Chains A and B, each alone.
Chain A
């Protein structure tokens, strides 16, 4: 402790020089923490999105194939995408499948009184809630009875419920979905859109409305009609999405492969895509790893530069204090005392840079989060790691100057002016 105090007092003799020297390490440490935090945050966001898809799920989606035919035609019927047969094959013949949930989407407007919005209207059986792990806000989700009875009921997403019924509970109210009135039986908790596609990308309204699949088929059909700058665009899609839930994680790759080969066999063109969140997750992990290595190396280089700066200054200090070294040696200091003295000074420099650097490094993610609206995550290990590295830099780059100081000839050192 005495050594540290003495080191500090020596460094305070040259305040500006010591301050400038610590800057190198300071920025190095701060950049390590900040870069890791931003990188971690970005990848966590991506991973979170993927996880929401359900890590045990395989998601099949209809994709509009590249436009063929006459662009100028006034009316077209485009038929593509996943079929009911696809769904049957998967749910009946695939091993390891726990559940499979079909989703049909219809581009209907949703009204309540004067209020109108364009959410995604998803026609799906009751299993949807379990497979996508959605929470109820109030009421209930769709049931088997709804499905069997072709009930005219719907469940609203939280945003839609708030929009249509700002002051009241939506439960029991009727909303007009397309041309039909449906009774609201439940509201689902808010969550970012999941496992859905937007029929009309220009639609600004978000949110979801869930309708029993049988009701949807019966009342809205599989044809989606859209007006587009004067021309009518009719698409026929039997199913927009099939969510296949595996029994166990290890079944996921098997099911994914089976789906891919089945769809490839059954579909002439590639009007579908297969999304495997687990694969995406693995890829995201890999990306994150590479990202971290790259960022880490950049930050590491800045620490290295800081370290070299420290070494440079310490070498100058040793030369400048040759006489002091001579005096100390004459008065009984062993070599190790001199080594310790200069090593402690270097470590105080780099350690001080490290401490302030940790502070700045924690501040940067905080600012980034507020200013740029990016998610950042500071892992508890990051500041410790960065500080540890800064001390290590002090030791590594302090050893040589300290060694040089300790090995001076006392006679020469005393004679030094």
Chain B
């Protein structure tokens, strides 16, 4: 809403609904690594705003900066310059502890290799982000149970990750990413380790979440997966290459660039 964020694409084409409130605002983000004598700019003045309820696929070849962007979006890495706000909160203002709590409260992570904790069962894994919060909301166990059922694991609550298939593990990870009702769900090659049928099921789950109004950012290098998203953001050399909006899953592009 603030409008101060510079978007490279024209906002709100005619006939499109009024833009929803911004969830993640990145403004002039740079991320510089020092490799010996050389300075490498993984992100170079990146500015963009992700809004509530949007479903983005972030694409780009390796070295395009998409991993760095994801790390910054996920608040596990800090930009060397620029401003990043999540739901209005400037991330740079948070110290390490606050940032940790912030990650657990506002972000949902889904990884390529599921990243469940092997010694915890399904329910405990789903509850993981809550357990590190200073205050555990009431009835959170019921919510975890509900989420487990929702992703089709109601019968396997006390299985360990090793006892589950890849698809099932990824479902647990999705349930885990939802437990805190995060502002942003970040999925990093979420289907990369799955066969196409299972991948399809996971992507359908994302569609459902999108339909419910969740904000999803899906990093992928598979064009097929990217096509499933509502919008596609392409990166190249640490900045935006192209923005495609309104690519619905039915393929009717409304605002292709």
A in complex with B: yes
A contact residues vs B (CB 8 Å cutoff): 2, 6, 9-10, 12-13, 323-324, 327-337, 410-411, 414
Given contacts A410-B76, A411-B71, contact A332 B115 (CB under 8 A): no
Q: Enumerate chain B residues within 8 angstroms of A336, measured Cβ to Cβ.
A: 97
Cβ-based interface call for B103 (8 A):
yes
Q: How far is the CB of A328 from chain B (nearest CB, A)?
A: 7
What 17 additional pairs, Cβ within 8 angstroms, besides A334-B97, A411-B71, A414-B76? A12-B119, A13-B119, A323-B115, A324-B118, A328-B128, A328-B132, A329-B76, A330-B109, A331-B129, A334-B96, A334-B101, A334-B132, A335-B97, A335-B100, A336-B97, A411-B77, A414-B115
Q: Enumerate chain A residues within 8 angstroms of B74, measured Cβ to Cβ.
A: 330
Query: Top 8 A-B pairs ranked by shortest CB distance?
Result: A332-B104, A332-B132, A410-B76, A334-B100, A331-B129, A327-B115, A333-B132, A9-B119
A410 to B104, CA, bound (A): 14
B contact residues vs A (CB 8 Å cutoff): 71, 74, 76-77, 96-97, 100-105, 109, 111, 115, 117-120, 128-129, 131-133, 176
- Asked if A330 and B76 sit within 8 Å, CB to CB, the answer is yes
A336 to B133, CA, bound (A): 12
- Asked if A333 and B100 sit within 8 Å, CB to CB, the answer is yes
- Asked if B132 and A331 sit within 8 Å, CB to CB, the answer is yes
- Asked if A332 and B105 sit within 8 Å, CB to CB, the answer is yes
A334 to B97, CA, bound (A): 5
Q: Enumerate chain A residues within 8 angstroms of B76, measured Cβ to Cβ.
A: 329-330, 410-411, 414
Q: How far is the CB of B6 from chain A (nearest CB, A)?
A: 27
A6 to B128, CA, bound (A): 12
Q: How far is the CB of A325 from chain B (nearest CB, A)?
A: 10
Interface of A is mostly: helix
- Asked if B119 and A6 sit within 8 Å, CB to CB, the answer is yes
- Nearest CB in chain B to that of A406: its residue: B96
> What are 28 inter-chain pairs, A to B, with CB distance below 8 A?
A6-B120, A9-B119, A324-B117, A324-B118, A327-B115, A327-B117, A328-B117, A328-B132, A329-B103, A330-B74, A330-B76, A330-B103, A330-B109, A331-B104, A331-B128, A332-B100, A332-B102, A332-B104, A332-B105, A332-B129, A332-B133, A333-B104, A334-B100, A334-B101, A335-B97, A336-B97, A337-B132, A414-B115
- Nearest CB in chain A to that of B78: its residue: A411
A12 to B176, CA, bound (A): 24
Q: Enumerate chain A residues within 8 angstroms of B105, measured Cβ to Cβ.
A: 332
A337 to B101, CA, bound (A): 11
Q: Enumerate chain B residues within 8 angstroms of A10, measured Cβ to Cβ.
A: 119
Q: Enumerate chain B residues within 8 angstroms of A2, measured Cβ to Cβ.
A: 131
A336 to B101, CA, bound (A): 12
Q: How far is the CB of B4 from chain A (nearest CB, A)?
A: 29
A330 to B176, CA, bound (A): 12
Q: How far is the CB of A190 from chain B (nearest CB, A)?
A: 63
- Asked if A332 and B117 sit within 8 Å, CB to CB, the answer is no
- Asked if A335 and B101 sit within 8 Å, CB to CB, the answer is no
Q: Enumerate chain A residues within 8 angstroms of B118, measured Cβ to Cβ.
A: 13, 324
Q: Enumerate chain B residues within 8 angstroms of A324, measured Cβ to Cβ.
A: 117-118
Q: Enumerate chain A residues within 8 angstroms of B129, measured Cβ to Cβ.
A: 331-332
Q: How far is the CB of B228 from chain A (nearest CB, A)?
A: 24
Q: How far is the CB of A337 from chain B (nearest CB, A)?
A: 6
Q: Enumerate chain A residues within 8 angstroms of B104, measured Cβ to Cβ.
A: 331-333
A414 to B115, CA, bound (A): 9
Q: Enumerate chain A residues within 8 angstroms of B77, measured Cβ to Cβ.
A: 410-411
- Asked if A331 and B119 sit within 8 Å, CB to CB, the answer is no
Q: Enumerate chain B residues within 8 angstroms of A323, measured Cβ to Cβ.
A: 115
- Nearest CB in chain B to that of A11: its residue: B119
- Nearest CB in chain A to that of B103: its residue: A332
A324 to B120, CA, bound (A): 12
Q: Enumerate chain A residues within 8 angstroms of B176, measured Cβ to Cβ.
A: 331
Q: Interface centre among A10, A330, A332, by most B CB within 10 Å? A: A332
Contact of B103 among A6, A13, A331, A411 (CB under 8 A): A331
